[in-house]
Structure 1
Amino acid sequence: MSDFPVALPSKERHFMTLSKEGPLFILHLHEKDNRFNTEFCQSILKALQIVEDFFLSSEEPVDMALVTLGNDKIYSNGLDLMHALSYTPFMDIYLSVLRRLVTFCIPTVAAINGHAFAGGCMLALAHDYRVMRSDRGYLCMNEVDLPSPLAPGMAGLLRYKMNPKTYRDMVLQGHRFTAQEALDQELVDIICPGDQVFDKSKELALKWAPKAKSGIVYKQLKDEMYCDIVRLLNIPFHRLAPKM
């Protein structure tokens, strides 16, 4: 079992920190812009595995939930595009992060402390719940302006998490959703000033942490709920990477 806090991927290359506060696991992403490259994705996957191992090792059902948090004014600015273009397997590694998170074994809350663009927006939407900063930051899928295609699994996740009009505006317009717009469109569950985002996220996580007492059933319910998303996230995307 890991001793907390855990520096990931290592103390020498410290992109994120996994800590534990009572029944809550906190994954604090604090790399510059929190852009996804292979090492960053593998660090998230390692963090999720540590949490899952802790969950599975519990002798009796316990309250448990995961909160992810960005840094300063950035939750995540999305993919490291140069890396995505230069390393063919990368997109499939990133999709595995979304697949792992969307069906994770305990309740998850994204503490959206600032901008969540493209891949960062997808990461937030892969959580069960979202708390967004009201005084700064946008949710945005700006692939139409890059330009870049969406992987089938990414498009599937977006379709499931929002209504058709919101999906159209997000994907075809690259609309930047303010916190109030995101709340109105049910993209997030709570909005609040930036200095309250982390605390509100922990409150929400504590509210739903008891659902982890269902054991593996919580994940089984999500496996069924998101079966279409998972099927699409399993479609390899690396063949399209050179066309991004």
Structure 2
Amino acid sequence: MSQFPVALPSKETHLMTLSQEGPLFILHLHHKDNRFDTEFCLSILKALQIVEDYFLSSEEISDMALVTVGNDKIFSNGLDLMHALSYSPFMDVYLTMLKRMLTFCIPTVAALNGHAFAGGCMLAFAHDYRVMRSDRGFMCMNEVDLPSALHPGMAGILRHKTTPKTYRDMILQGHRFTAQQALDQELVDIICPGDQVLDQAKQLALKWAPKAKSGIVYKQLKDEMYTDIVRLLSVPFHRLAPKM
């Protein structure tokens, strides 16, 4: 078993830290503005594997949940576009990471300490619950302004977790949702001042951590809930490249 805290992907290249606080696992993303490249996505996947291994090896399943938090005023500013354009396998790695988080075996909470843009917004939506900072920061899908098309799996997550009007405003307008707007549109579960976000996220995680006692059933229920989205996230990105 891993000794916590764990520096990921390594002590030499420290992009994020996975720690344990009682029944909670805290994944702290702290690499600049947390843009996704292949190494960053693989590090998140490694963190999830460590937590799942801990979950599966427990003789008696107890309360358990995962909280993901960013750094300073940014949760994540999305994809490293230069990397995404230069390394063709990247998008499939990113989509695999979203799929893994979406269907993870224990309850998950995104602590939005600041901006969650594009790919970072997608990571937030891949969690079960979201707590957002109220005094600064936006949730935004800005593909229309980049411009960039949206992978069907990413669109599937957004359709599932938003109303048709909110989905329209998010995708066709690139609307920047404030915390209050995000709460009103049920994009997040709780809003609070920035210095309370992580604590509130932990409290929410502790509230739902007992659901992990259902064992693998929690993941099976997610697999069924998101079966259509999982299928879409599994579409290899290279098939879409000519349409981008």
Normalised TM-score (structure 1): 0.99
SS in 2 for 1:116: strand
Q: Is residue 85–residue 241 contact of structure 1 (8 Å, CA) maintained in 2?
A: no
CA distance in 1, matches of 2:146, 2:49: 33
Describe the superposition over 1:198-242 as per-residue Cα deviations: whole angstroms up to 9, x where unpaired: 000000000000000000000000000010110100011134447
Report the equivalent of 1:105. Answer: 105
Q: Is residue 85–residue 242 contact of structure 1 (8 Å, CA) maintained in 2?
A: no
Which runs of at least 4 in structure 1 moved beyond 3 Å after TM superposition?
239-244
Residue 68 in 1 paired to residue 72 in 2?
no
- How big is the shift at 1:197? 0.1
CA distance in 1, matches of 2:33, 2:95: 19
Report the equivalent of 2:163. Answer: 163
Report the equivalent of 1:44. Answer: 44
Letter aligned with residue 161 of structure 1: K
Which ranges in structure 2 are unaligned for 5 or more consecutive residues? none
- How big is the shift at 1:131? 0.1
Q: Is residue 84–residue 241 contact of structure 1 (8 Å, CA) maintained in 2?
A: no
Report the equivalent of 1:91. Answer: 91
Report the equivalent of 2:208. Answer: 208
CA distance in 2, matches of 1:141, 1:25: 28
How many residue pairs are counted as aligned between the two chains?
244
Cα RMSD over matched residues? 0.9
Q: Is residue 91–residue 241 contact of structure 1 (8 Å, CA) maintained in 2?
A: no
How does 1:1-244 map onto structure 2 within 5 Å?
1-241=1-241, 244=244
CA distance in 1, matches of 2:210, 2:110: 18
Q: Is residue 144–residue 174 contact of structure 1 (8 Å, CA) maintained in 2?
A: yes
CA distance in 2, matches of 1:243, 1:81: 17
CA distance in 2, matches of 1:157, 1:238: 20
- Cα distance change, pair 241–73 in 1 and its aligned pair in 2 (3 A): farther
